[in-house]
Amino acid sequence: MHAWPASDVPALPGKGRDLRIHDTATGGPVTVAPGPVARIYVCGITPYDATHIGHAATYNAFDLVQRVWLDTKRQIQYVQNVTDIDDPLLERATRDGEDWTGLAERETALFREDMTALRMLPPQHYIGAVEAIPGIVPLVERLCESGAAYVLEGDVYFSVEADPHFGEVSGLDADAMRLLSAERGGDPERPGKKNPLDPILWMAAREGEPSWDGGSLGRGRPGWHIECVAIALDHLGMGFDVQGGGSDLAFPHHEMGASHAQALTGEYPFAKTYVHAGMVALDGEKMSKSKGNLVFVSTLRHAGVDPAAIRLALLAHHYRSDWEWTDQVLETAVARLARWRAAVSRPDGPDAQALVEEVREALSDDLDAPTALAAVDRWAALQESTGGTDEGAPGVVSRTVDALLGVAL
């Protein structure tokens, strides 16, 4: 699949700081991507009801990761998937009497438009689950041959016991895992499984559902976790730097993905660091496609809201916190954008060298965007109250905000 166009990232004077970020698996801050090339996999959308503010907030977090890396002059290999075949997509298409491929294409196109408008950096490899099927089948076959997978009434399941590191990504106990498995696409109640948590790798063709040639597995379609594993192994290999997504992906999705890959290769770890963004809520409940309590980026854009203001609204919250979208959040961002634009539109201003370092320091410390915004607020307030004589300063501020926060002033 093609991704979306990249916006320019201005180079800043000097060099940024190495990123330290919270790792879900170890529960503490780690310095990521020590080498010259940083490898990151961010789970993409399931293309129905995209792009809501929760999605945008999660992708904003991983866009910041890349902006910090670019500022340290690293090269980046960024891979993202599109879950363009899965139960929820088929259910929505059936509900609306629509062809599932049309639904997936339309929503993926809308996602690309939203990402472009929000100035999110595109992945180098943007891969759909359907196009990944030829790579998924041999992986499942290998897992069967090695005894890490088994067949139940034609469906193929992964045996979580096959990976000695199973459980280390989320750190959850068995009861919590079982609850979340039932909530998030698993089938712990299905009789005949070796372990109730075992996730599906290959689902045998169902009447009226799309299916693909699965070689020795028979016709069917892939499970969710193996999709991301196949795409990540193909384009990044084992031991890549960051696997990212919202906190609802820590278990089962990232836990299972890690175990699939570790059982397949015998190597450890799948990803060196697992990074998770908090959940955005609306009216007191997590914004989710299944509940339908959604605010869409495209609705706001079509109502005339500047995408830069949407981005500032996301940046006003620490990526790890759960927060609530309200009209007030957007109003505050619109006002901030106007203040910042007025401040950089003058020919001169207060010295901004310290500001560049403050923004760098904030972001390299677990992506502390709210602290970065506060630093820019202070410069803008000084500009408004006393002004300054540094002719380069407004340009420095505008390039810093552009390069590190993805906001064009």
Does 236 help bind Zn ion (rule: CB under 5 A)? no
* Cα–chain center distance at 221: 24
Q: Which of Zn ion, ligand 5CA, none does residue 280 bind to, with CB < 5 to 8 Å depending on kind?
A: ligand 5CA
> Which region among 228-236, 299-307, 320-328, 392-400 touches Zn ion (by CB under 5 A)?
228-236
Interface residue with Zn ion among 43, 203, 308, 359 (CB under 5 A) is: 43
If binding is defined by CB under 6 A, does position 279 make contact with ligand 5CA? yes
By CB under 6 A, how many residues form the interface with ligand 5CA? 21
Contacts by residues 297-304 (CB-CB < 8 Å, ≥ 24 positions apart): 297/51, 297/52, 297/53, 297/55, 297/56, 297/114, 297/117, 297/118, 298/51, 298/110, 298/113, 298/114, 300/330, 301/114, 301/117
Smallest gap from Cβ 45 to ligand 5CA, in A, equals 4
Cα dihedral 84, 86, 92, 95, rounded to 10, equals 130
**Using rule CB under 6 A, residue 55 touches ligand 5CA:** yes
406 binds ligand 5CA (CB under 6 A): no
Tokens of 180: 């979340």
Which of these, 44, 86, 257, lies nearest to 160 by C-alpha position?
257
Q: How many Cβ atoms from other residues are within 10 Å of residue 77's Cβ?
A: 17
- Among 45, 137, 297, 373, which residue sits at the site for ligand 5CA (rule: CB under 6 A)? 45
- For 259-317, give the DSSP string: HHHHHHHS-S-SEEEEEEEPPEEETTEE--TTTT---BHHHHHHTT--HHHHHHHHHTS
Q: Site map for ligand 5CA, 23-42, x if CB under 6 A? A: --------------------
Neighbours of 23 (CB within 10 A): 19
Taking residues 226 to 245 in sequence order and writing x for each that binds ligand 5CA by CB under 6 A, - otherwise, the string is: --x----------------x
Q: Pick the closest to residue 200 from 140, 270, 250 (CA basis).
A: 140
Considering only 25, 38, 43, 217, the residue that binds ligand 5CA (CB under 6 A) is: 43
Beta-bridge partners for 155? 152
Among 118, 228, 329, 396, binds Zn ion (CB under 5 A): 228
Cβ at position 123, least distance to ligand 5CA in Å: 13
* Residue 249 binding ligand 5CA, by CB under 6 A: yes
Closest CA to 101 of 204, 208, 205, 210: 210
Yes or no: say if 93 and 139 are a contact pair by the CB < 8 Å rule: no
Q: How far is the CB of 163 from Zn ion (least distance, A)?
A: 17
Identify the residue among 24, 60, 81, 243 touching ligand 5CA (CB under 6 A).
81
If binding is defined by CB under 6 A, does position 287 make contact with ligand 5CA?
yes
CB 320, min distance to ligand 5CA, A: 11
Tokens matching residue 279: 């959940």
Instruction: For residue 81, count other CB atoms closer than 10 A to its CB.
Output: 26
* Tokens describing residue 153: 């009434």
Task: Determine if 286 is a binding residue for ligand 5CA (CB under 6 A).
Answer: yes
Among 202, 188, 90, 213, which residue's Cα sits nearest to residue 153?
Answer: 202
In the complex, least distance from residue 243 CB atom to ligand 5CA, rounded to whole angstroms = 10
CA distance 370 to 309: 14
279, interface contact from ligand 5CA, Zn ion, none, CB < 5-8 Å by kind: ligand 5CA
Instruction: Indicate which single residue of 72, 116, 288, 371 sits in contact with ligand 5CA (rule: CB under 6 A).
Output: 288
Based on CB atoms, which residue is closest to ligand 5CA, 81 or 383? 81
Q: Strand 280-282 vs strand 323-324: parallel, antiparallel, or unpaired?
A: parallel
Which entry of ligand 5CA, Zn ion, none binds 383, CB below 5 to 8 A by partner kind?
Answer: none
| Contacts with ligand 5CA, residue ranges (CB under 6 A) | 43-46, 54-55, 57-58, 81, 83, 228, 245-246, 248-249, 277, 279-280, 286-288
